Amino acid sequence: MKKFSSLLFIVLLMMIVVGCENNKSSKELDDENVYSFQYEKMNILLGDTFTREKYGDELEYSETTTCAFEDMDRTYIYEHYAIDTYTLNEEERILSIYFLDSNVTTTEGISLGDSLEKVEEVYGKDYQKNDNLYTYEKGKTNLKFIVENDVVTSIEYTYDVEN
């Protein structure tokens, strides 16, 4: 009986340790397998819950009805970027982030006005190209560049709700 109790204790302890390690690894993998946008000291994660308390007051706000999601599509315009959101299970979540000017950069340092060559140096050539749209995929997120005359004219992060 004592052997069984000791064995049961060890098994339970291992389950607790493995469970904690798996939760930590899952969180770390989530952060590593998606594109995120950093502005000042704030990390904006696609698919994350959006609140004004978390991301601050916007300069402009708009909303439109949607047939794709449960509620309204909302756009929050900040000084240098905009955030589009959708509603899932009564929570507002980040769908996309797009740059409004060259005063912000991707986490890896690309901004509007940079060259396609610089984008490829930083992100590589493993992208999907559709006309002048270059899309990099990472997990459930995409990083999209529109390039005209070898110059980046648009940058957008998007979240793939379907996958």
> What pLDDT score was predicted for residue 69?
62
DSSP the chain: -HHHHHHHHHHHHHHHHHHHHHHHHHHHHHHHTS-EEEETTEEEETTSBP-HHHH---SEEEEEE-SSSSSEEEEEE-SSEEEEEEEETTEEEEEEEEESSTT---TTS--TT-BHHHHHHHH-S--EEETTEEEEEETTEEEEEEEETTEEEEEEEEE-S--
Instruction: Check residue 20 and give its pLDDT.
Output: 34
| pLDDT tens-digit readout, 65-105 | 776 666 778 999 999 999 999 988 889 999 999 999 999 99
Is 36-159 a CATH 3.40.33.10 domain? yes
Q: What residue spans define the domains of the chain?
A: 1-32, 36-159
Cα separation, 37 vs 158, in Å, equals 11
CB of 128 within 8 A of CB of 113? no
Distance from C-alpha of 39 to C-alpha of 105, rounded to nearest angstrom: 8
Q: Bridge-partner residues for 136, per DSSP?
A: 143
Q: Would you state the pLDDT for residue 30?
A: 52
At 6 the pLDDT is 39
Low-confidence ranges of the chain (pLDDT < 50): 1-29
